[in-house]
A and B are shown apart, each in its own frame.
Chain A
Amino acid sequence: MNENEIQLKVQALVDGELTGQEAKEWRSRLETDAGLKELHARLTAVRGLMTGAELPRTLPESGDFHWSQISKAIEREERQAKHLARPASSANWLLRWVLPLAGVACLMLLLTLLQTTKPDLGISLGSDHELELSIDDLDVMTFNTGDDAMSVVWLDYSLDLQQDEIDLWLD
């Protein structure tokens, strides 16, 4: 036991914090050790001076208040944990899926309505015509102008435009 521990034991004896057997042992030790006896006397004197001189210190809140706050905090944390672990209710499902889907549907409807007025390219598809192709791998596109006054068959074919020496246009 070092010096500091010995001093703390003497202080505890002065404060009456030692048990009966331990207090008896330390009292007998004081009788034989002059240094300890002097320390005991000094601490006893200081304690006597301080008795009645200490200002009373009261807690701003009662102890029960602090415990109730801690208890509430624990309950709150438990509630939050339960809330997170709980499966989604029907209302939550509605919020998570139906509302975004409704939003997307509204957006699609809006885009569809915006595209209702088709761009006027001045052409139309389909008419009173028949088309027969003789070459399978020939790409063909056919359309009519908007006023139906010109039908076009566009062939992916490069025609030789060179004129024949003998003009063979037949009447």
Chain B
Amino acid sequence: MITLSLNNLISRFIFLVALLLFVSGGFVVAQADPITVQARLVLGTSKEQKGKTEVPDTIRKRLAKVFKWMKYYELRSRRLSIGDGATKTAKLSKTSKIEVSNRKNGRIAVSLFSEGKMLVQKSQTLRSGSYMVLAGESGTDSAWFIVLSKTK
């Protein structure tokens, strides 16, 4: 009788330990590390514009390899430190802004808003040294770029 209750107790204990490990493991996996994202609003153009700051050379080379414009000027730049599962907003111009969310497993979600309406939301894993670019043409022979990169 005593042996039976002891066995029952041990099995219950093992079950509780396993349950605790499972829950705590899942909790750890679900955690997202805080990240810092650099967001740049860039103007791409074929004409040189004095008084404007050019983008870093690594970004210029990457953009010029894909797009036709050769000059890329940084209009605005902000660094967003985003905690676990948090969302930060950055206003880019009078009418546009981005929302950056820090999701699980190194993924970020970037939403672009213009005049209060969301245009697009892109989510992907953003590694250090890689870039997420949202872009479009703006008027005569120029284009806008929002270049997001992960900083350490």
Q: Say yes or no: A149 contacts B130, CB within 8 Å.
A: yes
Taking the closest CB of chain A, its distance from the CB of B43, in whole angstroms, is 6
Query: What's the minimum C-beta distance from A158 to chain B, rounded to whole angstroms?
Result: 5
Q: Identify which of A127, A157, A160 contacts B124 (C-beta below 8 A).
A: A127
Q: Which of A135, A140, A149, A161 contacts B117 (CB 8 A)?
A: A135
The 0/1 profile, CB within 8 Å of B marked 1, for residues 139-154 of chain A is 0101001001111111
| Residue of A138, A150, A156, A170 touching B133 (CB-CB under 8 A) | A150
Contact with A along B62-84 (1 / 0, CB 8 A): 10011000000001101111000
| A134 CA / B118 CA spacing, docked (Å) | 6
Q: Are A157 and B114 in contact (CB under 8 A)?
A: yes
A153 and B133 contact, Cβ closer than 8 Å, known pairs A161-B93, A168-B91: yes
Given contacts A150-B130, A150-B131, A151-B131, contact A160 B80 (CB under 8 A): no
Instruction: Describe B's contact surface by its main secondary structure.
Output: strand
B85 at the interface (CB under 8 A from A): no
Q: 1/0 per position for B129-150, CB-CB distance to A under 8 A?
A: 1111111111100001000000
B131 contacts A149, C-beta separation under 8 Å: yes
Contact A131 B120 (CB under 8 A): yes
The answer, yes or no, to whether B123 is at the interface (CB within 8 Å) is yes
B90 at the interface (CB under 8 A from A): yes
Do A171 and B133 form a contact, CB below 8 Å, given A131-B120, A135-B117? Answer: no
Is A129's beta carbon under 8 Å from chain B? yes
Q: How large is the interface on A (under 10, 10 to 19, 20 to 34, 35 or more residues)?
A: 35 or more
CB-based contact B120/A159 at 8 Å: no
Q: List, in ascending order, chain B residues with CB within 8 A of A56's CB.
A: none
Contact B136 A148 (CB under 8 A): no
Would you mind naming 24 contact pairs between A and B with Cβ atoms under 8 Å apart?
Answer: A123-B66, A128-B125, A131-B120, A131-B122, A132-B120, A132-B122, A134-B119, A134-B120, A138-B119, A150-B130, A151-B133, A153-B134, A153-B135, A155-B112, A155-B135, A159-B114, A159-B144, A160-B114, A161-B41, A167-B91, A169-B90, A170-B78, A170-B89, A171-B79
Query: What is B's interface to A at a CB cutoff of 8 Å?
Result: 41, 43, 62, 65-66, 75-76, 78-81, 88-97, 112, 114, 117-125, 129-139, 144
15 further A-B contacts with Cβ under 8 Å, apart from A130-B122, A157-B136, are A134-B117, A134-B120, A134-B121, A145-B62, A151-B131, A151-B132, A154-B135, A154-B136, A157-B119, A159-B92, A159-B138, A161-B75, A162-B94, A167-B91, A168-B91
